[in-house]
Structure 1
Amino acid sequence: MLRALSMRVGSAFLGLRIAVRTMTGVPTVSLPELRLLLASGRARLIDVRSREEAAAGTIPGALNIPVSELESALRMDPATFQALYLEEKPKLEDENLVFFCQMGKRGFQATQLAQGLGYIGARNYVGAYKEWSENDR
């Protein structure tokens, strides 16, 4: 009986998670999924926290573009982006362009912004740096 209750609660939680994804309209990535994407080299991470926050610690391989300058960065021509950020500018069709911040709000905003500019693979890491740092192994 306990197992059946557990399964129903799990199913309800899964349904809630799907509903939240649908309500927000922003594709997300979980910690286990992010770890798999990073291990396979299939994710591009953008840390949208301030430079000071990112300097104190970030997810390895993340590019720091503070949310306050993200729109102008994503609108730049590729050569200017490369000169300023020392990395290739993401392409509109890139898959798994993952944005994150400290707690989730700025990452959500960044993902919405990128989607609005046509970045079809924009996703928000909902656990944010807080979850990453608490589970970093």
Structure 2
Amino acid sequence: MYRFLFAIDKEISYSDLKTLLKKGSGIVVDVRSKDEVDKGRISGSIHIPVENVESDMSLDSAEFKSKFGVAKPSLDSSELIFHCQLGRRGAAATEKARSLGFKNSRNYAGGYKEWSEKEGK
């Protein structure tokens, strides 16, 4: 008997992210600097600068909810998405989260640049 394990891809596309947000599910984490976020953001995203991902994703559930206003995602959530401007910091944040046990976290590789272009902002 064979067992097939399907790993969740480490990246999510614009259209898949858009669908996730329309459903009202998922946590989108913007890992850019405060200055970048102040110039525009994906609606509903929370801001955790890339250098704070390990400490903030290690908070207990109550602390996370208090700090960010949303429930902390479960370790097996496939709806934990990181993004930055172009994809590099988002990929680094995704790897940090995966190392903490968020094994299905993903990076929106198109980043805010692609999002803002497709959303006409």
Could you say which TM-score interval applies, normalised by the shorter chain? 0.7 to 0.9
Q: Given the two structures, how large is their TM-score scaled by the length of structure 2? A: 0.85
| Same amino acid, percent of matched pairs | 41
1:104 is aligned, of 74, 87, 98, to 87
Count of paired positions = 114
Q: Given the two structures, how large is their TM-score scaled by the length of structure 1? A: 0.76
Give distance in 1, aligned partners of 2:68 and 2:17: 23
Greater share of residues in helix = 1
- Bigger relative contact order (CA 8 A; separation at least 6): 2
RMSD: 1.8
Between structure 1 and structure 2, the one with the greater Rg is: 1
Shift of 1:85: 2.2
**SS of the counterpart of 2:44?**
coil
1:72 is aligned, of 55, 59, 75, to 55
**SS of the counterpart of 1:99?**
strand
Shift of 1:105: 0.5
Segments of structure 1 that go 5 or more residues without pairing to the other structure are: 1-24
Name the amino acid aligned to 2:69: L
2:114 is aligned, of 131, 134, 137, to 131
- Return structure 1 stretches of 4+ with deviation > 4 angstroms: none
1:117 is aligned, of 77, 100, 103, to 100
Segments of structure 2 that go 5 or more residues without pairing to the other structure are: 1-7
Aligned to 2:4: none
Give distance in 2, aligned partners of 1:38 and 1:84: 21
